[in-house]
């Protein structure tokens, strides 16, 4: 269950990320707001190019230039972090925010043993000597499910399988007991059985340590197994956010409904898989009005001209004109 009556650990408000171009700034993340409570897993889903990973990169201060935060605020435990100088943000990243990337090889140095990398991370963020830090490293490897940690700690990354490397990356991410973890497609390159183990590990972090997790993925199966709430992104905006059961069982936004209809079912009636016609718009060609309107089977005339903000719809918020108290009767 989602933690109740708990102040958010992370609060993102009206975040805007831009990239300059010859024709002016293009908006890659557009007015995105959400929060995550301690112990909560927020899943962030959408097609490639929706802005999921850029939102995560903005939170941890790792946007690749020329991308930049152009508006809004990011607050961690009541402290604003998007305006911190580079060195101050580097200290936050690792100690207060852990990061798990899709490809563990980008997070691990092939020239050093995993033990060396863990010990360095622990000593960077915690006041420990080398012997104590090595003990902490051994404990971390055990916690993430690496057997024979005393032997494996002195192995190099290439001596681990893909799933084991991802476990090492998770150990690095939690080395300083961060309160928030940004996990960007952490199971994409793994087979199904290893995926299940990584999902169980992430869930245990939230349950046992109160860690808040932002889980970025395109895999709704992973979301269904892991998340308490889901934010669905399209063309840089959140189009629907709500409880995982609401989003999966009763999606409101036509884009969310299309995503759900494209997932194969393992039980119940099995009709033909649906697809969403068209493609995600390029940053320099985002349409006027609702960005989804050219692909939407339920668009109204105003969808072509007016951009909807998030509107309460039961136990979710949805950016769709269909959910105004009095909806417009005329279809396009």
pLDDT per residue over 220-254, tens digit each?
Answer: 888 998 999 999 999 999 999 999 999 999 999 99
- Over residues 131-151, the mean pLDDT reads 95
CA distance 316 to 332: 26
Helix (H) or strand (E) holding 318: strand 316-318
CA distance 72 to 257: 29
Return the pLDDT at 1: 46
pLDDT at residue 28 above 80?
A: yes
pLDDT at residue 331 above 60?
A: no
CA distance 166 to 199: 12
Return the pLDDT at 194: 83
Return the pLDDT at 101: 86
Least confident of 25-34, 159-168, 260-269, 295-304: 260-269
Return the pLDDT at 266: 57
Return the pLDDT at 104: 80
Residue 137's pLDDT band, with cuts at 50, 70 and 90, is very high
Return the pLDDT at 212: 96
More confident residue, 267 or 111: 111
- Over residues 282-299, the mean pLDDT reads 95
Partners of residue 26 on adjacent β-strands: 19
* 103-136: pLDDT as tens digits: 888 889 999 999 999 999 999 999 999 999 999 9
Average pLDDT score, the chain: 90
DSSP string, 17-41: EEE--TTSPEEEEEEEEEEE-TT-E
Return the pLDDT at 2: 47
CA distance 220 to 312: 23
Return the pLDDT at 221: 84
Return the pLDDT at 216: 96
- Over residues 30-54, the mean pLDDT reads 95
- Over residues 53-66, the mean pLDDT reads 96
Return the pLDDT at 268: 57
Strand pairing report for 79-80 and 68-76: antiparallel
Exposed/middle/buried for residue 113 (C-beta within 10 Å: 0-12, 13-18, 19+): middle
pLDDT at residue 50 above 90?
A: yes
Phi then psi dihedrals of residue 204, to 5 deg: -65, -35
- Over residues 256-269, the mean pLDDT reads 74
Output the CA torsion sign for 72, 73, 74, 77.
negative
Return the pLDDT at 327: 44
- Over residues 205-213, the mean pLDDT reads 91
Residue 330's pLDDT band, with cuts at 50, 70 and 90, is very low
């Amino acid at each position: 269950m989602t933690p109740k009556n708990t102040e958010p650990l992370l609060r993102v408000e009206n975040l805007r990320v831009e990239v300059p171009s010859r024709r002016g700034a293009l908006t890659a993340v557009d007015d995105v707001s959400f929060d995550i409570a301690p112990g909560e897993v927020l899943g962030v889903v959408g097609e490639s190019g929706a802005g999921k990973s850029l939102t995560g990169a903005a939170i941890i201060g790792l946007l690749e230039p020329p991308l930049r935060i152009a508006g809004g605020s990011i607050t961690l435990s009541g402290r604003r972090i998007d305006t911190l100088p580079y060195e101050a943000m580097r200290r936050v990243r690792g100690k207060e925010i852990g990061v798990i990337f899709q490809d563990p090889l980008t997070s691990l140095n092939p020239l050093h043993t995993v033990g060396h990398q863990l010990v360095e991370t622990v000593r960077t963020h915690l006041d420990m000597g080398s012997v104590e830090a090595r003990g902490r490293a051994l404990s971390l490897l055990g916690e993430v499910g690496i057997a024979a940690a005393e032997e494996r700690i002195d192995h190099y990354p290439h001596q681990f399988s893909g799933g084991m490397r991802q476990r090492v990356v998770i150990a690095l991410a939690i080395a300083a007991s961060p309160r928030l973890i940004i996990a960007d497609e952490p199971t994409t390159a793994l087979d199904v059985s290893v995926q299940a183990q990584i999902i169980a590990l992430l869930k245990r972090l939230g349950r046992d340590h109160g860690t808040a997790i932002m889980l970025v993925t395109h895999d709704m199966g992973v979301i269904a197994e892991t998340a308490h709430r889901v934010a669905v992104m399209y063309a840089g905006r959140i189009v629907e956010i709500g409880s995982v059961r609401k989003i999966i069982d009763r999606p409101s936004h036509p884009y969310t409904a299309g995503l759900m209809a494209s997932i194969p079912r393992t039980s119940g009636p099995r009709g033909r898989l649906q697809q969403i016609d068209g493609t995600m718009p390029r940053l320099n060609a985002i349409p006027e009005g609702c960005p989804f309107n050219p692909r939407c089977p339920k668009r109204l005339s105003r969808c072509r001209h007016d951009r909807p903000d998030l509107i309460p719809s039961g136990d979710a918020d949805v950016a769709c004109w269909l959910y105004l108290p009095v909806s417009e009767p005329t279809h396009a």
